[in-house]
């Protein structure tokens, strides 16, 4: 459980049931306590109280028609959390579990993550409880158009710039962008993750996963070690998981698992580039389930997910490096103990907040290399920032140029976290380092700009 004592009381009283949001707030606040103690100005200016209250939340009806002609209604959201250092920036999530708590946690994470990227980006997040699984392309298009028919009035290249998240990939960004362009009669960088032929950036689809692996390599380098030959467990099978696997394969690591919400596959021979191509076709084009992997590669084993929220069988496998790339709270306390007993060396979070507070504490107590998502997966939003820059100067950079900028940004985030952790008396604690560096940057900007 999260420690509520660090959270402003008003927040708990106002939103007692927003568990994911309270968890994300507690995660940051427990790290920044020494900063607040050393710099009373932050308390005097009510920085924490302002940070935990979104600048704005928009909730709206999304009516759409299915292929049978039946009208359906979903709920759409955009949480505009903090714009002190730049326009709101963060993903859109399409998943039945989406609610205000999940989007507030994602938006809150983005405030600090985006500050770490060194780019001028504020924090936001949005989405809907729409289930894209099993829908036809035409239904997805109609839904996206209806969603944008309301969202368009709240976003803009200098106001709020959404991007993809769970359930929102290249196809959905295309439909959303098309509707925005029609409604505004304007071709602008209002969404990132666009197609390459219409304003997208090379490496953007891969950026969160590539950046996560670059971060892991940086952490290992502090122990004179590399990813070459390391056994890895990866969860998820979507955008972040696929790119993480691609970079791990390039760096000579051996990947043993992938998953989706129905279960996971374990391939003792390792998931190589050819098998990864199969997964990409399966997930991005055929939109099938990961269980179909074992039909193609019968030596692999498929295990269905259990209803038990506290233990995920995927994390019982033995490996040296762990890359959770599916969803929040997918590694709990019991999972963390299984991994420790199997001598895991490194946990690098590709997904947003995939470890519970208890799991994080166990990894840090045991001295593992543990990278929190707001540092490790910041590559996605960083390259989104680079996409915006290319849009505004109307140029496209080569893939090598974007990739080399991504590597520089990930190294800078890594070094910033290490140095902040050291300065505040928690050497090698990347969680404390990431939270403090992100907090100080945003808090100072808020104080400079007055009470608004
Ligand atoms: N897309 C980005 O640029 C980006 C950037 C940074 C972080 N992230 C984070 O990475 C994670 C994955 O996002 P993505 O863009 O790869 O999404 P995606 O929709 O492409 O893939 C998500 C994957 O997670 C699986 N999944 C979803 N819910 C699950 C559940 N409850 N249990 C098990 N598996 C589940 C899905 O089956 C899918 O394979 C999210 O936490 C997201 O916030 C995404």
Does residue 114 belong to any structural domain of this protein? yes
**Is 271 found in the same domain as 162?**
no
**Is 355 found in the same domain as 245?**
yes
Annotated ligand binding at 288? The verdict is: no
**Is 283 found in the same domain as 167?**
no
Does residue 386 belong to any structural domain of this protein? no
**Is 238 found in the same domain as 95?**
no
Query: pLDDT tens across 120-149, in order?
Result: 999 999 999 999 999 999 999 999 999 999
pLDDT of 306 = 86
Annotated ligand binding at 239? The verdict is: yes
Is ipTM strictly over 0.90?
yes
**Is 177 found in the same domain as 222?**
no
Q: How many CB atoms neighbour CB 186 within 10 A?
A: 12
Closest C-alpha to ligand 1, atom 44: 165
**Is 337 found in the same domain as 239?**
yes
Determine contact, residues 214/410, Cβ cutoff 8 Å.
yes
Print the domain residue range for 330.
207-367
Does residue 316 belong to any structural domain of this protein? yes
Q: How far apart are the first and last CA of the chain?
A: 33
Does residue 110 belong to any structural domain of this protein? yes
Element (H, E) at 162: strand 160-164
Does residue 359 belong to any structural domain of this protein? yes
Residues 6+ apart with CB under 8 A from 137: 171
pLDDT of 307 = 79
pLDDT of 5 = 74
Q: Cα–Cα distance between 38 and 254 in angstroms, integer?
A: 45
CB of 165 closer than 6 angstroms to any ligand 1 atom: yes
Closest C-alpha to ligand 1, atom 20: 238
Does residue 24 belong to any structural domain of this protein? no
Mutational test site, ligand 1, from 99, 239, 262, 380, max ligand atoms within 8 Å of CB: 239
Boundary of a domain, candidates 189, 223, 241: 189
Residues 6+ apart with CB under 8 A from 351: 235, 236, 240, 324, 325, 326, 327, 328, 330, 373, 377
pLDDT of 309 = 67
Boundary of a domain, candidates 351, 367, 383: 367
Determine contact, residues 36/48, Cβ cutoff 8 Å.
yes
**Is 117 found in the same domain as 224?**
no
For 151, counting Cβ atoms within 10 Å of its Cβ (0-12 exposed, 13-18 middle, 19+ buried), the class is buried
Whichever domain contains 107, its CATH number is 3.40.50.10860
Annotated ligand binding at 280? The verdict is: no
Annotated ligand binding at 99? The verdict is: no
**Is 227 found in the same domain as 164?**
no
Boundary of a domain, candidates 324, 352, 367: 367
Does residue 59 belong to any structural domain of this protein? yes
CB of 352 closer than 6 angstroms to any ligand 1 atom: yes
Domain count, the chain: 2
Whichever domain contains 337, its CATH number is 3.40.50.720
**Is 151 found in the same domain as 274?**
no
Does residue 231 belong to any structural domain of this protein? yes
Query: pLDDT tens across 12-57, in order?
Result: 889 999 999 999 999 999 999 999 999 999 999 999 999 999 999 9
Determine contact, residues 4/12, Cβ cutoff 8 Å.
yes
Paired tokens of 280: 């990409």
**Is 222 found in the same domain as 127?**
no
**Is 177 found in the same domain as 114?**
yes
Positions of the chain with pLDDT lower than 70, given as ranges:
1-3, 309
**Is 184 found in the same domain as 99?**
yes
8-state DSSP, 161: E
């Amino acid at each position: 459980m999260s420690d509520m004592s660090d959270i402003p009381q008003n927040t708990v009283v106002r939103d007692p049931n927003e568990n994911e949001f309270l968890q994300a707030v507690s995660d940051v606040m427990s790290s920044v306590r020494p900063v607040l103690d050393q710099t009373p100005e932050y308390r005097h200016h009510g920085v924490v109280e302002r940070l935990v209250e979104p600048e704005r939340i928009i909730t709206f009806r999304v009516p759409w028609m299915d292929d049978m002609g039946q009208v359906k209604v979903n709920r759409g959201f955009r949480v505009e959390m903090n714009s002190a250092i730049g326009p709101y920036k963060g993903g859109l999530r399409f998943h039945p579990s989406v609610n205000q708590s999940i989007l507030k946690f994602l938006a809150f994470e983005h405030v600090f993550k985006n500050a770490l990227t060194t780019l001028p980006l504020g924090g936001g997040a949005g989405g809907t409880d729409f289930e894209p699984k099993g829908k036809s392309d035409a239904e997805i298009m109609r839904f996206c158009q209806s969603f944008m028919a309301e969202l368009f009035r709240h976003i803009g290249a200098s106001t709020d710039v959404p991007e993809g998240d769970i359930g929102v990939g290249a196809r959905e960004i295309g439909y959303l962008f098309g509707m925005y362009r029609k409604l505004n009669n304007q071709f602008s960088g209002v969404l990132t993750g666009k197609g390459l032929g219409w304003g997208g950036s090379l490496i953007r689809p891969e950026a969160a996963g590539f950046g996560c692996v670059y971060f892991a390599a940086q952490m290992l380098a502090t122990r004179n070690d590399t990813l070459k030959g390391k056994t890895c467990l990866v969860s998820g099978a979507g955008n972040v998981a696929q790119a993480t696997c691609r970079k791990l394969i390039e760096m000579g690591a051996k990947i043993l698992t992938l998953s989706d919400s129905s279960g996971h596959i374990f391939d003792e021979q390792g998931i190589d580039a050819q098998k990864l191509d199969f997964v990409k076709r399966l997930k991005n084009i055929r939109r099938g389930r990961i269980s179909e992997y074992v039909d193609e590669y019968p030596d692999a084993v498929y295990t269905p997910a259990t209803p038990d929220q506290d233990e995920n069988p995927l994390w019982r496998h033995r490996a040296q490096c762990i890359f959770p790339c599916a969803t929040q709270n997918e590694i709990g306390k019991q999972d963390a103990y299984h991994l420790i007993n199997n001598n895991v060396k490194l946990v690098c979070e590709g997904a947003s907040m995939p470890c519970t507070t208890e799991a994080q504490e166990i990894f840090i107590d045991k001295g593992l290399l543990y990278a929190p998502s707001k540092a490790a997966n910041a590559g996605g939003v960083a390259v989104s920032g680079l996409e915006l820059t290319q849009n505004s100067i109307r140029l496209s950079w080569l893939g090598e140029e974007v990739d080399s900028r991504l590597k520089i940004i990930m190294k800078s985030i890594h070094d910033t976290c290490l140095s902040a952790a050291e300065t505040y008396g928690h050497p090698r604690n990347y969680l404390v380092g990431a939270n403090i560096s992100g907090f100080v940057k945003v808090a100072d900007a808020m104080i400079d700009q007055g009470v608004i």
